[in-house]
Amino acid sequence: MGREARLGKVAGMSIGNEIERRLEIVRARIAAAARHAGRNPSSIRLVLASKTQPSAAIRAASRAGARDFGENYVQEAIAKRAELADLTEIRWHLIGHLQTNKARAAASAFALIHSVDSVRLAEALGRAQPSPRVRALIEVNLGAEASKSGVAPDGVAALVDAVRDKIEIEGLMTIPPPAAGAGTTRPYFARLREMRDRLAVQSGLALSELSMGMTDDFEIAIEEGATIVRVGRAVFGERTA
When pLDDT is averaged across residues 38-53 and rounded to a whole number, the result is: 97
Report whether pLDDT(208) > 80. yes
55 and 83 Cβ atoms separated by less than 8 Å:
yes
Q: Which of 143, 123, 144 is nearest to 134 (CA)?
A: 123
- Does residue 7 have a pLDDT over 50? no
Contacts of 79 (CB under 8 A, 6+ apart): none
Check whether domain 3-236 has CATH 3.40.50.1970, yes or no: no
150: left (phi over 0), alpha (psi -120 to 50) or beta: left
Which contiguous run of DSSP H or E holds residue 115? strand 112-116
Reference 48, options 36, 33, 31, 65; nearest CA is: 65
Sequence ranges of the domains in the chain: 3-236
> Any idea which of 70-79, 150-159, 231-240 has the lowest mean pLDDT?
231-240
